[in-house]
Amino acid sequence: MMSNLFLKPQLHLLPIPSKFIFSHTFNKPSITFSTTASFSYGPSLHKSTNPHHQNDDDVDILNEQTFTRVFNLAALRVPSAECSSLENRLRGHLLNWPRIRNIARVPGDEIDPSIAPLLGQQIHAEDDNKGKSDENGDFLISSSVLYRDKLAKTFNTRGYVNFRNLAKISRPKRNKKNEKEGEFVEVEGNKRVGKNGYVEVEVVEEENGVDEGLRKLIGEEFVNSKWRGSTRLLLLDERYKNCGVEELPEAIKAVLKEYAEKSTTLTFELVRCKLTLFYDYWQMNEILEAMLPEGMIVPTAFETVGHIAHLNLREEHLPYKKLIAKVVLDKNKPKIRTVANKIDSIDNEYRTMQLEVLAGNHSLVTTLTENGLRFHVDLAKVYWNSRLGTERQRLLSGFTRNDVVCDVFSGVGPLAISAAKIVKRVFANDLNPYAVEYLERNSVLNKLERKIKVFNMDGRRFIKAMFASDKAHSITQVVMNLPNDAAEFLDAFRGIYKDRPKDGEFTFPMIHVYGFSKAEDPEFNFHERIRIALLEVAVNVDMRRVRLVAPGKWMLCASFILPKSVAFANTAVDA
């Protein structure tokens, strides 16, 4: 016998999609709706209907409801036991939207296996169903309630319900994993709604014909709940949203027919449903693009330091800075807890960023991990750049346990502390007293304080002091990471050994100096700066481009052994 394949009437076409636009009123952005529509494949904030409207007065407050979009779709209601294999067979015809499962569960699609025989249906136990639909894990309020009611009607021979765990059974089972993710299924009035926090599926239209035998057996209230056994919705591709059964592709019909012929009790239905996507569904760039005026560059790039995201907003973004920050925060939770904007370029002596906190908590003190080590940083007071992590790694890979490292501009110690794990000893210095304070704290935090000696002085004085001391002979590596000016500090090496006997034992350290160059030939240009500072030509310089920090502006690293002629030069510079 053939299984049922119900026919459904067609849906009305969707209303014209709406799109947000912003326009300026008294320097404040206001939000209006336009009817601009773009009909691309897949979900989009520019498509479909939005049941909410942004209030023009709330321009500094993000109204999440305005990003709710409702899409009309068609779905096949299929027996849950067949759902996974049908999903595989129908794959090319199912909804293929990012982050949307094409198997949906809605309340009322469950049946308890012990009740199945009463209905004469061939139902597989839920636990036996290893299909993907079970991964969805929504718990169903209606099925257990229906089951409880059914049991309540089952009298034993003495005329009362003989069931000890009635209360326990009627309590819906909780699936811890999905509960954590906020997945649940709700019954809203008579609607069947499957929800997982950012998407909701609601069956809006289905076959009204009800089996009379079923009505007699399970009662009117169950009939209203469309209790027909465990089922799932297979969401069909959006191109079928208005199709009747006859208009479905032959491939779909053939598969359903094949399944139907396997069993006398299988039932398939074509139903209409509404798929609602909430603010949480959309990605950061989608929200920002819909929110900002057309043609404006969407600011999606930001740097992170621990829990802080710092943006580099353009002038044109400033009227929307709070909205932008809120979206960045929402879309990068929980890792990001503070969103700030860089309000000035870094040009102060301590290389700290001027940040304006726009969203989240206002603390600029954060903890981060680099190279397996932990660092405390206060971005308001000290320098940190996570982008230099790879470069630090490269430098560290050249160090050995016989090295003694001098970090002239150490900051809070990302290189100095990492080096301390590898080398014999580290001398770390910074002019910024806060950086030195954090450097000491971070050394202790990583239990490396015994290998690091910390100094708080000007870099030039530090170089001269180190090479005038008895430590001079042990220093094998010098790191100078202050790209704006480090090359000019090289003059401090002139004459560092001039007062020592020439026949003594000396170490000529390897110097790694960083610099910026906007020149056409950045290597040549940086080489020249080094030559001018040393008053000598450094030979065998290993010059490498570290990264492009701005269009046409390179950060370079030059590594070379301190020339003997420089160390013994008679013309030393005064500190």
Ligand X SMILES: C[S@@+](CC[C@H](N)C(=O)[O-])C[C@H]1O[C@@H](n2cnc3c(N)ncnc32)[C@H](O)[C@@H]1O
- Interface residues with ligand X (CB under 6 A) are 349-351, 383-385, 388, 409-411, 414-415, 430-432, 435, 458-459, 481-482
Nearer to ligand X, 325 or 431 (CB): 431
Nearer to ligand X, 44 or 481 (CB): 481
Question: Strands 199-205 and 477-480, how do they pair?
Answer: unpaired
Nearer to ligand X, 48 or 432 (CB): 432
Shortest Å distance, C-beta 516 to ligand X: 11
> Per the structure block, which two tokens stand in for 175?
């699936």
Contact 509, 476 (CB under 8 A): yes
> Per the structure block, which two tokens stand in for 20?
């947000």
Where do the H-state alpha helices sit in 161-293? Answer: 166-170, 176-180, 212-218, 220-224, 250-262, 284-291
Neighbouring C-beta atoms of residue 376, cutoff 10 Å: 16
CA distance 540 to 511: 12
Shortest Å distance, C-beta 490 to ligand X: 13
Nearer to ligand X, 363 or 385 (CB): 385
Nearer to ligand X, 298 or 396 (CB): 396
Give SS3 for 394: helix
Shortest Å distance, C-beta 357 to ligand X: 22
CA distance 88 to 84: 6
Minimal CB distance to ligand X: which residue?
411
Of 235, 224, 245, the closest CA to residue 202 belongs to 235
Shortest Å distance, C-beta 430 to ligand X: 5
Nearer to ligand X, 71 or 514 (CB): 514
The H or E element containing residue 404 is: strand 404-407
Nearer to ligand X, 275 or 417 (CB): 417
Shortest Å distance, C-beta 189 to ligand X: 59
Shortest Å distance, C-beta 520 to ligand X: 25
Shortest Å distance, C-beta 345 to ligand X: 13
Shortest Å distance, C-beta 393 to ligand X: 12
Shortest Å distance, C-beta 470 to ligand X: 22
CA distance 237 to 445: 55
DSSP β-bridge partners for residue 480: 513
Where do the H-state alpha helices sit in 113-175? Answer: 116-119, 132-136, 141-152, 166-170
Kindly tell me the burial class for residue 71, based on how many C-beta atoms sit within 10 Å of its own C-beta (0-12, 13-18, 19 or more).
Answer: buried
Nearer to ligand X, 356 or 458 (CB): 458
The H or E element containing residue 373 is: strand 373-378
Crossing angle between the packed helical segments 250-262 and 80-89, to the nearest 10 degrees: 140
Nearer to ligand X, 319 or 483 (CB): 483
> Per the structure block, which two tokens stand in for 252?
């779909």
Nearer to ligand X, 108 or 414 (CB): 414
| 3-class secondary structure per residue, 220-237 | HHHHHCCCCCCEEEEEEC
Of 521, 519, 554, 526, the closest CA to residue 541 belongs to 526
Nearer to ligand X, 147 or 350 (CB): 350
Nearer to ligand X, 229 or 414 (CB): 414
Shortest Å distance, C-beta 521 to ligand X: 24
Shortest Å distance, C-beta 433 to ligand X: 9
Angle at 30 (CA atoms; ends 24, 33), nearest 5 degrees: 115
DSSP β-bridge partners for residue 71: 275
Shortest Å distance, C-beta 194 to ligand X: 49
Per-residue CA distances from 236 to 12, 249, 380 (Å): 17, 11, 52
Contact 368, 309 (CB under 8 A): no
Contact 439, 411 (CB under 8 A): yes
Residues 306, 307, 312, 314: what is their CA dihedral angle, to the nearest 10 degrees?
Answer: 170
